[in-house]
Structure 1
Amino acid sequence: MHSSRNLKAVAAIAAVGALTLAACSGTSASDDPSSEGSAATGDPIVVAALSGLTFFPEAPEAVQAVFDDYNAAGGLDGRPIDYTVYDDKTDPAASATAAQDALSSGAVALVGGSSLLDCAVNHTTWEENGIVSIQGTGVDPYCFATPNIAPTNTGPYFDTFATLYYGSEELGFENICAIMVPDEAAAKAAYEQAIASWSASTGKELSYLDTTLVRGQASYAGNVSSLKSETCDALFVAEVGDAVLALLGEASNQGVDLPVLVLTSAYSDQFAASAAYSSDIYLPAEWAPYGDMTIDGMQDWADSMDAHGVPKTAFSQGGYLAAQYFIDILESIDGDVTRESFTAAAKGMTDPIDSPIAQAPFLFGDADFHQPNNTAYPVVLRAGTNEWESLGPLLIGDEIGWQYSTVPAGT
């Protein structure tokens, strides 16, 4: 297990000196391509990802942006990275097929994947084929509980814990009501673990819990109507971006104006521009708040996203970091770059990778499961505004009672 006890809260507390992610051969992806030599034209290094592009397009788009810049700057000793994203369509059968396609492509690793079910469906496939995945947005609990996957993000379960903790301990909410979409047994168990972790840490319990939501449901009228009969001073919503907007729209229609606690999936300018809600909306940033360009490295990320037309969101932060971490590991390989050598390099890591826009250093390493990022920096969208405001303080999981996600037997 990788603990966050000694995590460095460099990004969210103060700007730090620039830290070079690529320490060995080749050219860093963050370097200005115009200052380097010719674009890479050698034998491609094949990399793949599985993503549910309906929900999470930004993460792999950010990966592609980093790789495009890296290739333009000369790649790895003249070798470009050839990146292909396979859409799993948020369907188990399509995901399994996409996994075989990714393996058949000759990919040396999986980078920047963002999916509601990839890890659950394919983690055994990755293990059997000796390939590792650096997730841009890990979602289902198998992303955080299996040996060949290491997400850059904290995931919805730590998000749940940190959001509830901030709501009860920092904001003082005594009666938090929750509406959640657990999807399936393992995810439901992981959410239950996160809520139990919060309860153990704070002594608090949810005042109301509705787990009847399903992905893409047409109306939230019944959920909101049931909520109105409860005693609540805040509402926690565990859903993905657009669905959160739809649920809050229905809440407004029915006269509900509770402060809202949501997950990082809502952290985007698009959400802020669309959320016509009459109370404050709080969430945990999984990395340094993306709107703060005073944080060292954040302007480089923003410039890269703008140059490649990628929306600036928490998801694109995750993809950007996944690509940077991949390049760092890639450039540490002495000899041929193969699936086997990359997996050995990732699992052989002993020194974590620091990035000025990450709130925790990244370490893959050889472990049964990987949850390297267990930090959150609270932000808020004030009622009547369309810009996120950074609040703090930085929440570090091991310091506030977080218990790592596991996948119960039989799920």
Structure 2
Amino acid sequence: MHKSHSLAAAAAIVAISALALAACSSGGEAAPSGSGEPATGDPIVVGALSGLTFFPEAPQAVQAVFDDYNAAGGLNGQPIEYTVYDDKTDPAASATAAQDALSSGAVALVGGSSLLDCAVNHTTWEENGIVSIQGTGVDPYCFATPNIAPTNTGPFFDTFATLYYGSETLGFDNICAVMVPDEAASKAAYEQAIAAWGDATGKELAYLDTSLVRGQASYAGNVSNLKSQDCDAIYMNEVGDAVIALLGEASNQGISLPFLVLTSCYSDQFAASAAYSGDIYLPAEWAPYGDTSIEGVQEWADTMDGHGVPKTSFSQGGYLAAEYFIDILESIDGDVTRESFTAAAQGMTEEIPSPMAQAPYIFGAGEFHQPNNTAYPVVLRGGTSEWESLGPLLEGDDLGWVYTTVPAS
């Protein structure tokens, strides 16, 4: 069993109606759950905070699951009404979005994916008795506070896993790192993850550059400094286009060393854009999305294709968050309210299995939660545009992983 450890104008609201049909009569006759008739009863209101610039797929995947659920009858004829609040990756907008979500009457938060939601709003969730099943937890408060339990492993375990695979399986002795330290809590969490890797392997970074800032204009200086080091691989904790930009600069300066990156790069779009001559390794947080031979992956892929949602690691997280929410929802005896859902989530004693997740999910009681600490290594070979599954599955509890903590408030 895996352990459960369990920040101006109003934020722009992206309202995504999860009602399968446009007509939704609050007093209509309810269709039985799973009856095959679209749900038309009183909606069950659910919300999410996401940085839609960075993570659009996770809430889209949640929507897809809820659309299918509503079309099949919902919960005893009650449809799920889902609204996503764009936190714009801005602390003030995030805090406002949190209040909007609470004012909507949401019974829970599902599939949120944000660089700062947990850090900004975790105390708000606690004070208002609402739980969040994150689709993509990023900042350390997602993994170290009582009312949030992400589906994903997060960047800190990803850091541990990609470094571990690099040193222990690939045999890299001199791993250099270029990092965005972000705020103090994230900096400490990255340091904790790197220390856990060092304790587990007896290795240490050969070089560490923590001067990166999110979205900086040029990486020429960083790459020039890397060239002067004796590196046999490079670790980087940036996301998306920033990684593409640094890889481009590395190529410009004649570097073709292997890169060890995080799961945020795991997408077909990244693979098509990287154009790098060296290998790029990362830890998939769930079963590799391209391997439909693994139980559960084909069902997820069919759902994404059926709703036009890109198949990425982020959409895996959103899909699982919605599935877990429904599982908990259907365990409630009586009216579905914020109070009853929170009680059901925090009262969980049995894990929810999912082959695609590789690790079962549980919210449960506790002051902090990290139900998922597994990773499956994949690689984008130099000069190619398709990910290759490598394995074996890495399980943090077996490798010396230390659960993420945050500074005492």
Inter-partner Cα distance in structure 2 for 1:370 and 1:409: 16
Q: Tell me what 2:350 maps to.
A: 351
Alignment of 1:3 onto 2:3: yes
Contact 1:190 1:407 in 2 (8 A): yes
Contact 1:2 1:370 in 2 (8 A): no
Query: Which runs of structure 2 are paired with 1:60-79 in the superposition (5 Å)?
Result: 60-79=59-78
Contact 1:179 1:236 in 2 (8 A): yes
Inter-partner Cα distance in structure 1 for 2:351 and 2:182: 33
Letter in 2 for 1:160: T
Inter-partner Cα distance in structure 2 for 1:80 and 1:333: 15
Contact 1:26 1:331 in 2 (8 A): no
Contact 1:272 1:387 in 2 (8 A): yes
Deviation at 1:295?
1.1
Inter-partner Cα distance in structure 2 for 1:43 and 1:245: 46
Contact 2:2 2:372 in 1 (8 A): no
SS in 2 for 1:86: strand
Q: Tell me what 2:45 maps to.
A: 46
Contact 1:252 1:278 in 2 (8 A): yes
Deviation at 1:307?
1.3
Letter in 2 for 1:237: M
Inter-partner Cα distance in structure 1 for 2:105 and 2:313: 29
Letter in 2 for 1:132: V
Deviation at 1:356?
1.8
SS in 2 for 1:209: strand
Q: Tell me what 2:26 maps to.
A: none
Inter-partner Cα distance in structure 1 for 2:220 and 2:210: 15
Per-residue CA deviation, residues 150-187 of structure 1 (Å, 9 max, x unaligned), is 00000000000000000000000000000111211000
Q: Tell me what 1:32 maps to.
A: none
Deviation at 1:409?
2.5
Letter in 1 for 2:332: I
Alignment of 1:328 onto 2:335: no
Letter in 1 for 2:388: E
Deviation at 1:105?
0.2
Greater alpha carbon shift after TM alignment, 237-246 vs 147-156: 237-246
Contact 1:201 1:401 in 2 (8 A): yes
Per-residue CA deviation, residues 124-173 of structure 1 (Å, 9 max, x unaligned), is 00000000000000000000000000000000000000000000000000
- Greater RCO between the two (CA within 8 Å, min separation 6)? 1
Per-residue CA deviation, residues 337-374 of structure 1 (Å, 9 max, x unaligned), is 00000000000000000012111000000101000000
Deviation at 1:38?
1.3
Q: Tell me what 1:338 maps to.
A: 337
Deviation at 1:2?
5.8
Q: Tell me what 2:388 maps to.
A: 389
Inter-partner Cα distance in structure 2 for 1:253 and 1:240: 20
SS in 2 for 1:60: helix
Alignment of 1:314 onto 2:313: yes
Deviation at 1:225?
1.0
Inter-partner Cα distance in structure 2 for 1:2 and 1:270: 32
Inter-partner Cα distance in structure 1 for 2:33 and 2:376: 33
Q: Give the number of aligned pairs.
A: 382
Query: Which runs of structure 2 are paired with 1:200-279 in the superposition (5 Å)?
Result: 200-279=199-278
SS in 1 for 2:53: coil
* Structure 1 segments of 4+ aligned residues over 6 angstroms from their partners: none
Alignment of 1:26 onto 2:33: yes
SS in 1 for 2:149: strand
SS in 2 for 1:201: helix
Inter-partner Cα distance in structure 1 for 2:78 and 2:219: 51
Per-residue CA deviation, residues 361-408 of structure 1 (Å, 9 max, x unaligned), is 000001010000000000001112111111001100010000001002
Q: Tell me what 1:8 maps to.
A: none
Give TM-score, length-normalised by structure 2: 0.92
Contact 2:294 2:356 in 1 (8 A): yes
Q: Tell me what 2:15 maps to.
A: none
Q: Tell me what 1:139 maps to.
A: 138
SS in 1 for 2:76: coil
Inter-partner Cα distance in structure 1 for 2:260 and 2:151: 22
Gaps of 5+ in 2: 5-31
Letter in 1 for 2:3: S
Inter-partner Cα distance in structure 2 for 1:274 and 1:116: 23
Gaps of 5+ in 1: 5-24, 28-35
Letter in 2 for 1:251: A
Letter in 1 for 2:315: S
% identical equivalent positions? 84
Inter-partner Cα distance in structure 1 for 2:192 and 2:264: 20
Contact 2:113 2:138 in 1 (8 A): yes
Letter in 2 for 1:67: F
Per-residue CA deviation, residues 88-136 of structure 1 (Å, 9 max, x unaligned), is 0000000000000000000000000000000000000000000000000
